[in-house]
Chains A and B, each alone.
Chain A
Amino acid sequence: MNIFRLCGDLSHLLAILLLLFKIWKTRSCAGISGKTQLLFTIVYTARYLDLFTSFVSVYNSVMKIVFLTASYGTLYLMFYKFKPTYDHNHDSFRILYLIVPALVLSFIIVHVYTVMEILWTFSIYLEAVAIMPQLFMVSRTGEAETITSHYLFALGSYRALYILNWIYRYYTEDFLDWITIMAGIVQTILYCDFFYLYITKVLKGKRLSLP
C-alpha cells in the first residue's frame, strides 16, 4: 500500500458513493448510463470472485464487498426503484461491442490459463472501456449535472492514481503487471476529454455542457 494506491481507492469509493447519493437524493437516475453501471457490476463480479478463494487483507475484502454491494445497489435503484427516471433513449451504446472484444482479448493476452485468471483479466479489459456508454450518453445529451461530473471525475482519477501507484511499485517493489498497466492507461486516456471539460468548466462553477 502506498499513498497513490490509497488515494486511488478512496477516489473510487467516493465516486461510487457519490453516484448512490445523487440517485437517492434526487430520486432520479437521469443522465446516468445504466449500461455503464451494468458493465461495472459485471467487472466487480468477475474480478472479486477471489473473495471466496483467497484472502489478502481485511481492507481488501471490505473494499471488494463495498464495491460489489454498491454496484448491485445502483442497478437496483436504476432498473427497479427509480426505473421511470432512467433515460434509456439516450443510453444507446451497444455494450456487446465492448464485452465481446474484452472477452476475446482475455483469452489471448492472459498470464495463466485458469478460469479465475481469465475472468480477472476479462474484468480488467472490460473496466478499461466500461465508461464508454456513459461518456457517449453525455455527448448525446450534450450536458451532465454537476454531481454527475464530480462522479465521473472521481471515477477517472482513480485509475490515473493507480498509474502513479504502478510506477511507484515498479521502483520500490519491482512490481510490474503489463495487463493492468496497459488497460489502466487506456482507461485513463478515455477520460482525458472529460477531465479537460471538468477543469475548464465545472471547477469554475459552470455546468458541464458541450459546445
Chain B
Amino acid sequence: TLVYPDKDEL
C-alpha cells in the first residue's frame, strides 16, 4: 500500500 500523502518521515 502506498501511503501518500501521509509523509511522517523526515
For chain B, which range describes its interface: under 10, 10 to 19, 20 to 34, or 35 or more residues?
under 10
In this complex, the interface size class of chain A, counting residues with CB under 8 Å from chain B, is 20 to 34
Tell me the smallest distance from the CB of B2 to a CB of chain A, in Å: 7
Interchain CA distance A19-B7 in the complex, whole Å: 27
Give the complex CA separation of A67 and B1 in angstroms: 29
**Residues of B contacting A12 in the complex (Cβ-Cβ under 8 angstroms):** 10
The answer to whether B1 and A112 have CB atoms under 8 Å apart is no
Are B1 and A174 within 8 A (Cβ)?
yes
Bound Cα distance A119, B4 (Å): 14
A151 contacts chain B at the CB level, 8 A cutoff: no
Q: Is A88 part of the binding interface, using a Cβ–Cβ cutoff of 8 Å?
A: no
Q: Would you call A111 an interface residue if the criterion is a C-beta within 8 Å of the partner chain's C-beta atoms? A: yes
Q: Is B7's CB under 8 angstroms from A50's CB?
A: yes
* Residues of chain B whose beta carbon lies under 8 Å from any beta carbon of chain A: 1-5, 7-10
Q: List 10 A-B contacts (CB under 8 A).
A: A54-B7, A56-B7, A60-B10, A63-B10, A111-B2, A111-B4, A120-B7, A162-B9, A176-B1, A177-B3
